[in-house]
Structure 1
Amino acid sequence: MVASKKEKESKKAYLNITSSHLRFSFFFLFTLGLLLFPLRTAWAQELPTGSWAGSLSSGPDNRQAFFHFYPGAAGHNVALFDLPVQGFHSLQAKLTPQPGDSLKFHIQSFDAHWIYIAKYNAAKKEINGTLLVAGAGIKIPLQLKPVDAQRLRPLRPQTPQPPYPYQEWPVTFNGAAPGVQLSGSITAPKGKKKIPGVVLLSGSGPHNRDSEQFYHKTFGVLADELTRRGFAVLRYDERGVGTSTGNYTGTTITEFAQDAKAAVRALRADRRIKVDKVYVIGHSQGSLEAQIVAADDPDVAGLVFLAGVGLSGVESRKAQYRASLKARGITEEAAKEDLLLYDKSYEIVGAAPDSATALANLQQWHKEIKMDPQYSNMYIAPFTGNWLFHFLHFDPKPNLNRIKVPVLAISGDKDTQVFVEKEFAAMKAGLQAGGNQQFQSVILPGVNHFMQTAKTGAYDEPFQLEETFSPAGLQIIGDWLTKQAKTENQRK
Structure 2
Amino acid sequence: MKTPFLLLQQKLGCSFLFLLLTSQMAFSQQLPTGSWAGDLNVRGAAPIKVIFNFPAAAKGQSLVSIPYTGMHDLQVERVKEVGDSLQLAFRDHLSSYTFTALYGAGNKGVAGLFVIGDNRKFPLTISLTNAESLRPSRPQTPTAPFPYAVLPITFAGGDAGVMLSGTITAPKGKKEVPGVILLSGSGPHNRDGEQFYHKTFLVLADELTKRGFAVLRYDERGVGESSGKYAGNFTEDFAPDGLAAVKALQTDKRLKVKNVYVIGHSEGTLMAQIIAAEAPDVAGVVLLAAAGLPGVAFNKSRHRALLKANGISEEQGGQDLMIQDRSYEIVGASPDSATAVANLRKFHEEIDMDPNYSERYITPFVDPWLFHSLHFDPTPYQQKIKVPVLAITGETDSQTPAQDNMPAIKAGLQAAGNANFTPVVLPKLNHFMQTSVTGAYDESYTLEETFSPEVLKMVGDWLVKQATGAGKARRTAKGI
What is the one-letter code of the residue matched to 1:84? P
| SS state at 1:93 partner | strand
Look up the match of 2:221.
239
Look up the match of 2:477.
none
CA distance in 2, matches of 1:155, 1:165: 23
Displacement after TM superposition at 1:50 (Å): 1.4
The question of whether the paired residues in 1 share the 8 Å contact of 2:180 and 2:260 is answered with yes
**Taking structure 1 as the reference length, what is the TM-score of the superposition?**
0.88
Residue 258 (1) aligns with residue 240 (2): yes
Which structure 1 residue ranges, 4+ long, deviate > 4 Å from structure 2? 27-36
CA distance in 2, matches of 1:124, 1:232: 43
Q: 1:36-435 counterparts in 2 under 5 A?
A: 44-61=28-45, 62-72=47-57, 75-99=58-82, 101-110=84-93, 112-133=95-116, 136-435=118-417
CA distance in 1, matches of 2:398, 2:244: 31
CA distance in 2, matches of 1:317, 1:281: 23
The question of whether the paired residues in 1 share the 8 Å contact of 2:27 and 2:81 is answered with no
C-alpha distance 459-378 of structure 1, shift in aligned 2 (>3 A) = farther
C-alpha distance 301-30 of structure 1, shift in aligned 2 (>3 A) = closer
The question of whether the paired residues in 2 share the 8 Å contact of 1:103 and 1:118 is answered with no
After superposition, give the CA deviation of every residue in 1:16-63 in whole Å (9 maximum; x if it has no partner). 99x9xxxx6247668785599xxxxx9622112211111223444431
Displacement after TM superposition at 1:320 (Å): 0.7
C-alpha distance 124-400 of structure 1, shift in aligned 2 (>3 A) = closer
What is the one-letter code of the residue matched to 1:45? Q
Stretch moving more, 49-58 or 426-435: 49-58
**Equivalent in 389, 404, 420 of residue 438 of structure 1:** 420
Displacement after TM superposition at 1:124 (Å): 5.0
CA distance in 1, matches of 2:469, 2:146: 20
Displacement after TM superposition at 1:77 (Å): 2.8
The question of whether the paired residues in 2 share the 8 Å contact of 1:349 and 1:392 is answered with yes
Displacement after TM superposition at 1:69 (Å): 1.4
**Equivalent in 439, 448, 456 of residue 438 of structure 2:** 456
The question of whether the paired residues in 1 share the 8 Å contact of 2:107 and 2:128 is answered with no
C-alpha distance 334-370 of structure 1, shift in aligned 2 (>3 A) = same
The question of whether the paired residues in 2 share the 8 Å contact of 1:45 and 1:101 is answered with no
CA distance in 2, matches of 1:480, 1:197: 14
Displacement after TM superposition at 1:122 (Å): 2.2
Displacement after TM superposition at 1:180 (Å): 1.6
After superposition, give the CA deviation of every residue in 1:432-470 in whole Å (9 maximum; x if it has no partner). 011000000111111100000010000100111000000
Look up the match of 2:474.
none
What is the one-letter code of the residue matched to 1:156? R
- RMSD (Å), alpha carbons: 2.4
What is the one-letter code of the residue matched to 2:32? P
Stretch moving more, 448-457 or 120-129: 120-129
Stretch moving more, 402-411 or 365-374: 365-374
C-alpha distance 111-364 of structure 1, shift in aligned 2 (>3 A) = farther
Stretch moving more, 388-397 or 300-309: 388-397
C-alpha distance 141-416 of structure 1, shift in aligned 2 (>3 A) = same
**Taking structure 2 as the reference length, what is the TM-score of the superposition?**
0.90
CA distance in 1, matches of 2:101, 2:12: 22
Displacement after TM superposition at 1:255 (Å): 0.6
CA distance in 2, matches of 1:27, 1:219: 20
| SS state at 2:397 partner | coil
C-alpha distance 332-115 of structure 1, shift in aligned 2 (>3 A) = closer
C-alpha distance 155-27 of structure 1, shift in aligned 2 (>3 A) = closer
CA distance in 2, matches of 1:152, 1:32: 27
CA distance in 2, matches of 1:196, 1:212: 24
The question of whether the paired residues in 2 share the 8 Å contact of 1:106 and 1:113 is answered with no
Look up the match of 1:7.
none
Displacement after TM superposition at 1:275 (Å): 0.8
Displacement after TM superposition at 1:175 (Å): 1.5
Query: Percent identical across equivalent pairs?
Result: 54
CA distance in 2, matches of 1:35, 1:291: 35
Stretch moving more, 96-105 or 241-250: 96-105
CA distance in 2, matches of 1:32, 1:226: 35
C-alpha distance 418-85 of structure 1, shift in aligned 2 (>3 A) = same
CA distance in 1, matches of 2:193, 2:154: 17
| SS state at 1:320 partner | helix
The question of whether the paired residues in 1 share the 8 Å contact of 2:235 and 2:270 is answered with yes
The question of whether the paired residues in 2 share the 8 Å contact of 1:107 and 1:113 is answered with no
C-alpha distance 131-77 of structure 1, shift in aligned 2 (>3 A) = farther
| SS state at 1:335 partner | helix
What is the one-letter code of the residue matched to 1:82? S
CA distance in 2, matches of 1:328, 1:108: 29
CA distance in 1, matches of 2:178, 2:279: 16
| SS state at 2:128 partner | strand
Displacement after TM superposition at 1:356 (Å): 1.6
Displacement after TM superposition at 1:251 (Å): 0.7
Stretch moving more, 220-229 or 108-117: 108-117
| SS state at 2:362 partner | helix
C-alpha distance 405-28 of structure 1, shift in aligned 2 (>3 A) = closer
Displacement after TM superposition at 1:333 (Å): 2.7
| Unpaired segments ≥5 residues, structure 2 | 20-25, 471-480
